[in-house]
Amino acid sequence: MPDPPPLLLLSFDGFRHDYIDRHPAPNLRWLRAAGSSAGRLRTVNISKTLPSHWSLITGAAPASHGLLANDFFSPVDGARFSAKAEHGDERWWQGAEPLWVTAERQGLRTAPQYWPGSDAVVRGVRPTYWSKFPEDRDLNFGRQVARAIGLLALPPERRPSFLTLYSDVVDKATHSAGPDGADAASAVAQADAMLGQLLRALAGAGWLGRANIVVVSDHGMVPVGRALPLVSRLSASELAQLRLAPKADEIKAHGAAILMLRPRRSLAPRRRAALLRAVRRRLDGWEGATLELWPPGGAASEQMGWLHMDCGDVVTLRAAATVAAGAQLERRGLTSHGAFTPAKEGLVGGGAHGYVPERCDAWSGTPHAMDGILLAHGPAFAAGARSAVFPALGVHLLLARALRIEPSAEAEAGDDTERAVRELLRPPPAPGWRWAGWPLLPFFY
C-alpha cells in the first residue's frame, strides 16, 4: 500500500482563537476558507505549552500522560521537571504515545521538528528524522521550512509522511505586552507571514494541494489584571518549608497563573501533611483562587498543592506594598521607577495563560480566551467544513486519520471526538474518482 500524502503540522504557540479575525492575517484566512477549520480549539487543563502540546500529539490529557505543567514536581519521587532543561530527558515523556511513534510503529517515516518531546526516545522509538531542541532556543522558521522542503524532496522510500514546525513568536509578544495591543497585532502578522513562507515553498516544490497541512495552537492568552503577593497569605517560615514550581526567581519576574507547592522532604511526614493543610486553608478561595491537592486520593504526607489563580490574576512573591504601588501606577498610565516595572517585567500589563479553561470562558475581553486555533487543508480534509469547537484531545485522532493509520490506544476516542473528526475529513472518494488538487491563489503574502 503506498504511503499517504505527507502531513505537515504547524504550531503557533499562544495563538488565541480570535486573532485571525481581530488582526490582518491573509494567509491564515485563505487556509481557513480553502480547507477545514474549527471556530476554536478547546485547550486542555493545564493550558500551558508543554502539557498542551503533548496532549495535542498524544490525544491524552495531562493527568494521564503526566506532563502536568511547564514546571512541576513528580508525584512519584519529587523530581523537578523544567521546560527549559528537560526537552531531551526521556523519563518525562513516557506517559503516552505521540503520533510520530504511532506512525513509526506502523511503517511510516516521521520528522518532527522542535515539537516538545520530539528529541527524546519515547518507548524505545525515535523519529526517523529528528532535531535536538536548540539550547539557545533559536527557532529560525526559514530554516525549519527549508528542512521540511528538503525532506519532502527525498525519494519516496526515504520521504517522511509526518513533519512538524513550530513558532513561539505570538506567545512571546503577548506574554510581554498583553494580547490586545499593537505588539499582538505585529506578532500575528509575523506568524501569518511564516505561514505564507511555508505555503510559497510548498507551492514551489509542487506540494501545495498534494500534501496535508494542519495549523494548531496550544492555548490562548489573557491580560494580567492583578498580581497577588503570596507573602500576604503565607509566612516566611511557611514559604521556607515549601518547594515552588515555577522557581522563585521566575515567579518574581513574571508571576504565575498556576503554582505547585510541595512540602520539603526534609520535614517529618506528619509535619508535611499539617503544612499542606495550613497552606490550603490560607490559599483556597483567596481572591477566587483554588488549591487542589495532587495526586487526588494520595497519602496526605506525600501530596502537593496546585494553586489555580482566577482568570487574569497571577501570584507573585513580591512584597504586597511594592506590587500594589506598581499596579496603581500602571492603572494610571504611568511608569513606576526603581525595582518594579509591571509591564516590562511581565506582571500587570503583560499576558498570562495556564488557567483552568472554564474560568476564562466568560472573560469580558474574549470568551473562551484559553482556546486556540485549528485549520486544515489538503486531500484529507473537506473544503469548507467547519466545526464550532474541536477538542484538543481529538487532534491525534484527526492526524492519524489523515495519515491512514490506527491511532494510539491511549488517545481520546469518545463519540464526541469521533464526530468532530468526521466533520473535518473528506469522505472517501467514489470508485474511479480522481482529485485534481486545490485551486492555487496567485500570491501568498
Task: Name the range with the highest mean pLDDT among 273-287, 342-356, 420-434.
Answer: 273-287
Instruction: Calculate mean pLDDT across residues 81-88.
Output: 70
pLDDT digits (tens, 9 = 90+) for 233-267: 999 999 999 999 999 988 988 899 999 999 999 99
Cis peptide preceding 357, ω within 30 of 0: no
Alpha-helix runs per DSSP H in 310-425: 320-331, 395-403, 415-424
CB 12 within 8 A of CB 217: yes
Which of 114-123, 200-209, 311-320, 353-362 shows the lowest mean pLDDT across its residues?
311-320
Q: What pLDDT is stored for residue 325 in this prediction?
A: 52
Instruction: Calculate mean pLDDT across residues 312-326.
Output: 73
Which of 206-215, 317-326, 405-414 shows the lowest mean pLDDT across its residues?
317-326
Give the H/E segment covering residue 72: strand 71-73
Q: How is residue 216 written as a grid cell?
A: 494548531
pLDDT of 338 above 90: no
Q: Pick the closest to residue 52 from 218, 286, 240 (CA basis).
A: 218
Q: What pLDDT is stored for residue 336 in this prediction?
A: 35
CATH architecture of 7-221+365-424: 3-Layer(aba) Sandwich (3.40)
Q: What pLDDT is stored for residue 335 in this prediction?
A: 37
- Percent of the chain having pLDDT more than 90? 76
Q: Average pLDDT, whole number, for the chain?
A: 89
Q: What pLDDT is stored for residue 380 in this prediction?
A: 98
CA-to-CA distance for 116 and 56, rounded, in angstroms? 11
| Residue owning grid cell 469522505 | 427
Confidence of residue 135 (pLDDT cuts 50, 70, 90): low
Q: What pLDDT is stored for residue 138 in this prediction?
A: 75
pLDDT of 82 above 80: yes
| Residue owning grid cell 504526607 | 301
Confidence of residue 71 (pLDDT cuts 50, 70, 90): very high
Q: Pick the closest to residue 199 from 140, 149, 156, 130 (CA basis).
A: 149
| Residue owning grid cell 494521564 | 64
Domain ranges within the chain, ordered by starting residue: 7-221+365-424, 226-352
CA-to-CA distance for 76 and 117, rounded, in angstroms? 20
Confidence of residue 323 (pLDDT cuts 50, 70, 90): low
Give the H/E segment covering residue 243: strand 242-245
In this structure, is the dihedral angle defined by the CA atoms of residues 414, 308, 79 and 246, taken in order, positive or negative? positive
Cβ atoms within 10 Å, residue 124:
9
pLDDT of 79 above 80: yes
Residue 37 CA: distances (Å) to CA of 20, 135, 385, 390, 398: 12, 34, 7, 9, 12
Confidence of residue 75 (pLDDT cuts 50, 70, 90): confident
CA-to-CA distance for 38 and 217, rounded, in angstroms? 12
CA-to-CA distance for 353 and 112, rounded, in angstroms? 25
Q: What pLDDT is stored for residue 347 in this prediction?
A: 59
- Give the residue, 441 or 122, on which the prediction is more confident: 122
CB-based contacts of 442: which residues, under 8 Å, 6+ apart? Answer: none
Q: What pLDDT is stored for residue 365 in this prediction?
A: 80
CA-to-CA distance for 361 and 322, rounded, in angstroms? 31
Q: What pLDDT is stored for residue 256 in this prediction?
A: 95
pLDDT of 438 above 50: no
Q: Pick the closest to residue 380 from 64, 7, 103 (CA basis).
A: 7
Q: How is residue 13 written as a grid cell?
A: 504557540
Q: What pLDDT is stored for residue 321 in this prediction?
A: 57
Residue-wise burial string across 168-203, b where 16 or more C-beta atoms lie within 10 A, e elsewhere: bbbbebbbbbbbbeebbbebbbebbbbbbbbbbbbe
CB 310 within 8 A of CB 289: yes
| Residue owning grid cell 488517545 | 411
Instruction: Calculate mean pLDDT across residues 42-55.
Output: 96
Instruction: Calculate mean pLDDT across residues 31-48.
Output: 97
CA-to-CA distance for 257 and 310, rounded, in angstroms? 8
Interhelix angle 182-204/141-152, rounded to 10 degrees, is 20
Instruction: Calculate mean pLDDT across residues 17-28.
Output: 97
Cβ atoms within 10 Å, residue 131:
17
pLDDT digits (tens, 9 = 90+) for 154-184: 999 999 999 999 999 999 999 999 999 899 9
CA-to-CA distance for 60 and 287, rounded, in angstroms? 31
